[in-house]
Chain A
Amino acid sequence: MTVATRPHAAESGLKLGITLYSFTTEFINRRYSFEELLARVAEQNMGPGVEIVGFQSIRGFPVITDAFAERFRELMQRHRLTPTCLSINSDMMLRRGQMLSIEEAVAYHEPQIRAAARLGFPVVRSQFAAPPEVLRRLVPLVEELQIRIGPEIHAPMSINSPPVMAYREMYAKVNSPCLGFIPDCGASARNIPPSYLAYLKSQGMPEEIMALAVNIWRQPKDAQQKREEFTALAQARHVDPTIISALAVMFSILSTQEPRAWLEIMPQIIHIHGKCYDFDERGIETAIPYEELIPVFAEGGFTGHMSTEWEGHLYSQASGFENVRKHQALCRRLLAQL
């Protein structure tokens, strides 16, 4: 197979790649090992960028053995792939109902950040579960390791949500080049993926409860508020908890921020999650408007990687490879049109 020529804009500005999270179904069903996934990604020209979730891809994470570190570097070199971002987890509620203290959280993040440096990842994705003070205290470490770190702005959040604002205020005070944000494109959705609604229906989801959730999702309110409103209404109707859980996920994966809103924080964007679910016959993502988002990132002068992050595995057994291919074809087409 010949390698598709990448448009010039992709080389200079936004570069494409994947997160292995896209292949969760293939991985957890033991159909592909970590090494086989990397080989397949390279073979199918889905790089050069490679992002991984530490707690998914690496047994015993955040401990990195010498053997793993060496093997990982070898694989990156052999397949001509580039480590882009290590997704770490801000597991503030390790003990149910009790949050870690700031000190405990700093200690929990530190080995994960060191793991990124060890494996050659220049960017680390953290999460808003950790308050800004945790990252502030990690600034000396990330500066020493030359790592850029930031929480992922993921649905239900927007750039102006209170937790995001708290980080923006801290960033303005600390003013470190190592602090940033990672937008997840699912925070700028226009729709709930039709394949997701079809799946829920096929599982016997009562249509009126589904309609209730979708109508609340569409309202121009804070997303967190919408999830709580849905949960309260569903509980009042004695809806089965597995149904509430299945629908509450909708509010956690997609929200409706205007794409141009990202321009306001563009200089602080260190990496992007190219979230996707499904595609129509023209190759357009049905829920997330890439035809608007890609030009916004270009206009803002973003330089860095977008990891294609297919998340249909939340509700579908479809192939991660096929959907990643569609997303990257769409992005390449849009980049070429810039």
Chain B
Amino acid sequence: MDNNFSAFLLADQELRVQSGSIAVHIRLPWYRALPLSTVEVVSLLIDGHPVSKEQIQFEVNGRRWTLADCADQTAESWYVLDDGILHVALEGMKPQPAYDVDLTLNLYPPYMPGFAWVTHSAKRLQVQQ
């Protein structure tokens, strides 16, 4: 089921292809900045195929982390007005004019121990020329 942030999570209608990866811009589906350590990419499907976590890097504040490393970034904050960028290695994917992107992102607001905010969004995104 969608929540009120589903349309917002994959805010752009487009994605970018650069140096062997696609870059999907996403927004933080919450009302306040959160530390990266509380953000979890649960699943990402491109054209219906699950992407392994090792193929994804997350960029915010001009820096990139592997998803495994994000869990340690308690002091790195994702501000509510900023895009985050999922860089997905293109290995084994054919270049196409558009991709179906299906993302589930969990937030664990650190003042609500035990609570998970699950946001799912699926969109067809055009490759930006």
Contact = CB atoms under 8 A, between A and B. Distances in A.
B99 interface: no
B62 to A, nearest CB: 14
Contacts of A204: 1
B115 A248 contact: yes
Given A56-B31, A59-B79, A129 B118 contact: no
A317 interface: yes
A5 interface: no
Interface in A76-129: 89-96, 99, 127, 129
Contacts of B71: 95-96
Contacts, number: 94
Contacts of A334: none
Contacts of B38: 93-94, 96
A129 B113 contact: yes
A292 to B, nearest CB: 28
A205 B3 CA distance: 11
A264 interface: no
A31 B18 CA distance: 30
A89 B4 contact: no
A323 B13 CA distance: 30
A29 B8 contact: yes
The B interface, classified by DSSP as helix, strand, loop or mixed, is: loop
Interface stretch (A36-44, A139-147, A185-193, A239-247): A239-247
B1 A205 contact: yes
A28 B80 contact: yes
Contacts of B28: 28
Interface string A296-319: 000000000000000001111100
Contacts of B32: 53, 55-56, 89
A171 interface: no
Given A93-B110, A204-B1, A243-B1, A61 B74 contact: no
Contacts of B1: 203-205, 240, 242-243, 246
B35 interface: yes
Given A53-B31, A56-B32, A316 B37 contact: no
Contacts of B65: none
B27 A317 contact: no
A268 interface: no
Interface of A: 21, 24, 27-30, 53, 55-56, 59-61, 89-96, 99, 127, 129, 199, 203-205, 240-243, 245-246, 248, 252, 313-317
Given A27-B81, A55-B33, A315-B3, 9 more contacts: A28-B27, A55-B32, A91-B110, A93-B113, A95-B74, A203-B1, A241-B118, A242-B2, A245-B3
For the complex of A and B, 7 pairs with smallest distance between CB atoms: A91-B110, A55-B32, A94-B74, A56-B32, A245-B118, A93-B110, A129-B111
